[in-house]
């Protein structure tokens, strides 16, 4: 069994040389990483920024961790130099040298000042693990802050530039705060973006979303929720401003179309009122709906729209035109429905006349034009349909009686009698 000391079995020369080579490689790798961290743009920004909130709190801890990391590295480097000096005393190390080297390379002999207490001792291997922990946590914070600063402020600035262009465009068409909702929206977006940029610059870690399950430094993404919401709001406002611009370009044509639609509605209502008088004179025992006059409010709003155009108040004209266009179409539809309802009895009379003449032509074609019953019933139905006022209910029954008589004579199935029909 080999000689032992508190650090374990005494290492032989080959073990010592392999350990020194491994620790030397780790020293170089750690030094390279530390220098990269020292020169990292994110770390320099954190060091010089006026931080607030969660970033201020976490950077204070990370800055202390980086200071401790350098202290650990200096202690590690010093211990490695001591071990190399002992090994370089002679080509073939003595047992005393090997015992001392074993203690340095494996024992907890590396004292790190300021590590929570006045000092704390580590083995070189444990110290490497400790430095890796400190480095990973510090790098994670630096990378996260740098990622937010690299992504969000530039995007906010671009959106702010677009916001200024939209504000100028809005002002040109009269869209201003307090006068139009879109103007108020632009003010709100401006305030939000200004506050957002200030918060991102002073507290970037408040806008960082770590990746779930990721252990890599800087695993995650910037939180763009507020930015995305304001970008969508600005896009909505921009579309509204463009709609106002479109109004400025085609306002006159739209006003002409509006006047035409309302004029057609008025003419249709006038036709319906005339038709109602005709129906009351020609059709008896019929409920004819009353035809209302054209609504004056639409003409008043149309006049207001023309005045808005004259005064170049495009932001007021835009919503008014949209509402008027829909109301004008509704009014034209109402006028047409009134005309249809009023003239329905005349349409019924015309359908009965057509049906009566069609059956007369049919029976004449088949040689029954002189049939006494058919002639009698035809004359009765025709007298009723061509007299004024015409009782549609009685006239319809007369046409049905003629139709059934013709069908019986021609040997075709009879027309079903309804509850109002009379037996022949």
Cβ contact 394:384 at 8 Å: yes
No. of H helices and E strands in the chain? 11, 8
3-class secondary structure, 216: coil
Q: What is the mean pLDDT of the chain?
A: 84
Using pLDDT thresholds of 50, 70 and 90, give the confidence band for residue 198.
Answer: very high
pLDDT at 201: 94
pLDDT digits (tens, 9 = 90+) for 269-324: 888 888 888 888 888 756 777 787 777 888 889 889 888 888 777 778 888 888 99
Task: Measure the CA angle with vertex 301, ends 300 and 307; round to 5°.
Answer: 95
Give 408's Cβ-side CA count (13 Å radius). 12
Cβ contact 373:424 at 8 Å: no
pLDDT digits (tens, 9 = 90+) for 314-352: 778 888 888 999 999 999 999 998 888 888 888 888 898
pLDDT exceeds 50 at position 359: yes
Angle of helix 124-172 versus helix 181-202 axis, rounded to 10: 160
CB atoms within 10 A of CB 178: 7
Distance CA 171, CA 342 (A): 51
Distance CA 294, CA 334 (A): 10
3-class secondary structure, 291: coil
Q: Which has the closest alpha carbon to 143: 29, 214, 64, 41?
A: 41
pLDDT exceeds 60 at position 117: no
Cβ contact 309:317 at 8 Å: yes
Q: Which of the given ranges, 151-160, 369-378, 411-420, has the highest pLDDT on average?
A: 151-160
């Amino acid at each position: 069994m080999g000689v032992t000391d508190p650090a374990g079995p005494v290492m032989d020369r080959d073990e010592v040389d392999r350990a020194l080579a491994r620790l030397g490689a780790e020293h170089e790798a750690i030094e390279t990483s530390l220098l990269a961290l020292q020169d990292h743009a994110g770390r320099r920004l954190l060091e010089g920024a006026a931080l607030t909130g969660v970033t201020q709190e976490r950077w204070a801890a990370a800055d202390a961790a980086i200071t401790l990391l350098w202290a650990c590295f200096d202690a590690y480097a010093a211990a490695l130099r001591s071990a190399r000096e002992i090994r370089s005393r002679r080509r073939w190390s003595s047992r005393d040298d090997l015992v001392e080297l074993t203690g340095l390379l494996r024992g907890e002999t590396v004292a790190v000042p300021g590590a929570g207490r006045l000092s704390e001792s580590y083995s070189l291997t444990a110290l490497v693990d400790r430095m890796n922990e400190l480095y990973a946590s510090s790098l994670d914070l630096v990378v996260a802050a740098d990622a937010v600063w690299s992504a969000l402020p530039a995007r906010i600035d671009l959106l702010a530039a677009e916001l200024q262009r939209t504000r100028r465009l809005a002002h040109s068409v009269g869209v201003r705060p307090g006068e139009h909702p879109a103007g108020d929206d632009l003010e709100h977006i401006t305030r939000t973006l200004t506050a957002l940029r200030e918060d991102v610059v002073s507290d970037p870690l408040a806008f960082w979303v770590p990746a779930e399950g990721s252990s890599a430094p800087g695993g995650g993404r910037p939180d763009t929720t507020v930015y995305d919401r304001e970008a969508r709001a600005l896009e909505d406002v921009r579309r509204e401003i463009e709609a106002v611009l479109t109004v400025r370009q085609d306002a006159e044509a739209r006003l002409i179309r509006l006047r035409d639609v309302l004029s057609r509605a008025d003419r249709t209502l006038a036709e319906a009122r005339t038709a109602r008088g005709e129906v009351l004179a020609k059709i008896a025992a019929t409920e004819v709906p009353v035809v209302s006059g054209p609504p004056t409010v639409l003409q008043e709003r149309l006049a207001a729209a023309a005045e808005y155009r004259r005064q170049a108040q495009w932001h007021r004209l835009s919503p008014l035109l949209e509402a008027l266009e829909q109301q004008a179409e509704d009014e034209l539809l109402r006028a047409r429905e009134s005309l249809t309802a009023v003239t329905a009895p005349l349409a019924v009379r015309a359908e009965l006349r057509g049906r009566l003449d069609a059956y007369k032509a049919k029976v004449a074609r088949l040689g029954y034009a002189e049939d006494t019953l058919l002639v009698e019933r035809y004359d009765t139905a025709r007298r009723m349909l061509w007299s004024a006022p015409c009782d549609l209910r009685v006239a319809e029954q007369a046409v049905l009686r003629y139709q059934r008589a013709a069908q019986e004579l021609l040997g075709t199935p009879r027309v079903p009698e309804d509850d109002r029909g009379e037996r022949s």
